[in-house]
Structure formats: structure tokens, C-alpha cells
Amino acid sequence: MSDTVKYILPESEIPKNWYNITADLPKAPPPVLNPGTGEPLGPDDLAPLFPMDLILQEVSSERYIDIPEPVREIYKQWRPSPLYRARRLEKALDTPAKIYYKYEGVSPTGSHKPNTAVAQAFYNKEAGVKKISTETGAGQWGSSLAFAGSIFGLEIQVYMVKVSFEQKPYRKAMMESFGATCIASPSDTTKFGKAYLAKNPDSTGSLGIAISEAVEVAATNDDVKYSLGSVLNHVLMHQTIVGSEALKQMEMAGDYPDVIVGCTGGGSNFAGLMFPFLGEKLRDGSNLRVVAVEPAACPSLTKGKYAYDFGDTGNMTPLTKMHTLGSTFVPSGFHAGGLRYHGMAPLISHLKELDLLEAYAFHQNACFEAGVTFGREEGIIPAPEANHAVKGAIEEALRCKRDGKSETILFNLCGHGHFDMQAYTEYFSGNLEDRNYDEQELAMALSGLPSVGN
């Protein structure tokens, strides 16, 4: 039917495996390094932080990894997620382009994050872990791990970046509803947090700081493991369920994307949608373009340096080679809290170096404007993070209009904005600031990059 707007797969079509793009890369990504010795890390080095099954996924080069049946059972609550054709938006933009979006806001917590939260909670439970510590920016990850923890009977402790803790109080209530604990970071519950607060009493926090606190709790307690909601290879891999479904749904639509767009904080929702398609390009060749959109106030891919860096401000993590603004970089308190990370996933960074993806940065007002346009046509209010993907998709559609091209655009609508309406209120009242990153602070943060590996 020519006017179909929704492509739905039956439960039986939930993919049976995750896709590991490492198997198809033309060149292997650089190894993770021990910051003390500069030597590549082995699986055992990560054992204090993660269960072994996840560590083996992190370093695997097998193309497909089976999704455990109990995880697929839980996925059934909201997966397969719908793929939509944005027909009203196409009309409003008067573009010859076809715009499709995969909608991850149908999950219990309203974003793509439960795709990996459920998997991580499962493997931790299997390994006998009782408690997991983690950080969260806008609260999407914290509430998703809290949800997964409640299903598997795991205790979850979340360090939430203070500026978001104050902007989004309902996220904390959501985590508590699932039985988790949520602490504003920096906090006085960790050694690192206390020391940081002593030097920066008015700190509004950052993901890098919150990660240090969560890692410290896991590293100093035998019965606690740590979990990360983005950036790591295994997290990106769990998210490929999104793209594997979308492959089948695009086939139902009788279409194939010319360009895939996603917003990038740590890179997981973008990777999740585009890796399975990019894998086809790497194996069989195609003209597919993939486009990452990031905030101009925290532009790791477009302005960061490709270098070895720590994943956290307290320098407790291993060193990974990635596009980074420096682990001490603290972005301004703009509203897409999920995009305020100083680094980019090593796999996404590697693909950028291989010229396999493009990256653009936009200011938040332009992104909210795009999100509001989208909402008025499609009836879904995107999360502030997702507004960056919407902006990127609209830019592509307008390019098609200028060039008279009927290309097919696919983007990831990675979450809804129902917990973020305060940000919309500020946008409508003209109170959202378009701040650039601080050049001086960036220079300083980059001058502090570790010498090991660089």
C-alpha cells in the first residue's frame, strides 16, 4: 500500500542475535590500554568492574552473538519497536525525500536504553552479582537500569549529574519507583566526589565525574559491579537489535536508506540503528551515508581530538582511543543531558577516522525548533537528545528538496520527551541559551590528555 505509515513486525521476528561490527571492519580498532603500563588490557583486567560474559562480548570479533532467551522474553514487552514513515513531515517540508524513523520511545522508560540495560542486568545476575553502580546524565540510563534491576532482583545505585538531578526531578522518582537509589553527583558518598567538591563546591557535575564515583564504588566493593549505558563495544552491540529490526522493516516498506541519521552522546543509539546497515555496506558495497549529529556545546566528534583518554574525570578507567574533549571538560548545562559526555564511543570514533561516517554539530535552539516541527506533524514529542537527530534528518530532507532528489532518509527517534517538558517550556519562553563550548576550557582539558598511548 502506497500510503502506509507504520511497519510492525510480529514478536517472533525479534532478532535472535546481536550484530558485532568488529567482524566486518576493514581495520581493527586500536586496543584498550592500561594507563599505568601502556600495555593492552586483557579480559582479566576488567574483571573487577564487569561480569566475564560482558567482557568477552567487549573484545569479541564474532559477527553474531546470540541473545539469551530470557532477554528476548523481556524485549517482547516493547519489541519489535515500530518503524514509521513521516508522511506528514515530508509534506510539511515539501521534500521529495522519503523520511522514515525507528521509534524507541515505546520502551518502558521511554528510550533505547533498556535494550542494553536488560542484557547487562541479565549477565550480572547470571554471574551472581548483587548490586550494580552506574552514572546517569538526563536520567534515561539510570531509570532503564533501575527497571532492569527490578526485573532481575538486583540492587541499583545511580549517580546522577547534579544539573540534571535538579532539572529533572521526576527521573529520580522513577528510579526510586523501581527500587533504585539515586544520588546527585558530585556527592560526598565517594572519596573522589568528596575531593572534587572540596575543590569545586558549586560544581553542577558531569558524566565524567559521575562515572568516577560509580566506578569507585564498584572497584572498592567486592560484591558490586559497574555498568555503563553507552560508549563500550558491548553496549553498542546490544543496541544493534534496533537496526536489525529496521532492516526487516525497510524491506517491508520496499525501501532502503540512502542516509541514516542519529544523535550521538556516547554513540549507542546511532550505532544501534546504523551498524547492521553499515555492515551490509562493508560486506557488499553500497552508497549508504551515515550522519552523526551532536550538540555544538559538547562537540566531541567535530571538535575533539582523536587520542587515548580516560573515560572519567577521576582517571580510574582504562585508556581508550576516541574523539575526546578531554576528561576534565565540563560542558555547559544545556538540556540534552544525554549528549554531555566528553568522549565518543571508540567504535564510532574509529569509523570517523576511516571516513565511514560524517558528523555535524547544531545548537540547542535549532534542535528544539526541529523537534517542535516534528511533534506538530507526527504527534510525538522527541527527547531533547533526539531533537538533534530530527534536526539532522530535516537538514537532509531540505538538501534533497534543493537538489530535487528523492532519497530515503532513516533516523533514530531514540526517545520521547515526556520527562523533559521543562526544557520545552524554556525553549518556548526564549530562555534556552545557545552557548558555544569554552575554547579555553577545551584547550586546557586537551592539554591534560595522558601521555600514555599518545
The region of 5-13, 158-166, 168-176, 263-271 touching ligand PLP under the rule CB under 6 A is 263-271
Shortest CB 268 distance to ligand PLP, Å: 3
415 binds ligand PLP (CB under 6 A): yes
Shortest CB 445 distance to ligand PLP, Å: 20
Q: Which is nearer to ligand PLP, 237 or 400 (CB)?
A: 237
Shortest CB 4 distance to ligand PLP, Å: 26
Shortest CB 385 distance to ligand PLP, Å: 3
Binder to ligand PLP among 20, 81, 185, 268 (CB under 6 A)? Answer: 268
Binder to ligand PLP among 120, 124, 212, 230 (CB under 6 A)? Answer: 230
111 binds ligand PLP (CB under 6 A): yes
Among positions 83-102, residues that touch ligand PLP (CB under 6 A) are none
Binder to ligand PLP among 386, 397, 400, 409 (CB under 6 A)? Answer: 386
420 binds ligand PLP (CB under 6 A): no
Total binding residues toward ligand PLP, as defined by CB under 6 A: 20
Shortest CB 335 distance to ligand PLP, Å: 12
3-state helix/strand/coil string of the chain:
CCCCCEECCCHHHCCCEEECHHHHCCCCCCCCECCCCCCECCHHHHCCCCCHHHHHHHHCCCCEEECCHHHHHHHCCCCCCCEEECHHHHHHHCCCCEEEEEECCCCCCCECCHHHHHHHHHHHHHCCCCEEEEEECCCHHHHHHHHHHHHHCCEEEEEEEHHHHHHCHHHHHHHHHCCCEEEEECCCCCHHHHHHHHHCCCCCCCHHHHHHHHHHHHHCCCCEEECCCCCCHHHHHHHHHHHHHHHHHHHHCCCCCCEEEEECCCCHHHHHHHHHHHHHHHHHCCCCEEEEEEECCCCHHHHCEEEEEECCCCCCCCEEEEEECCCCCCCCCCCCHHHCCCECCHHHHHHHHCCCCEEEEECHHHHHHHHHHHHHHHCCCECHHHHHHHHHHHHHHHHHHHHCCCCEEEEEECEECCCCHHHHHHHHCCCCCCCCCCHHHHHHHHHCCCCCCC
The region of 9-17, 181-189, 212-220, 381-389 touching ligand PLP under the rule CB under 6 A is 381-389
141 binds ligand PLP (CB under 6 A): yes
Binding-site ranges for ligand PLP (CB under 6 A): 111, 113, 140-141, 230, 263-270, 338-339, 383, 385-386, 414-415
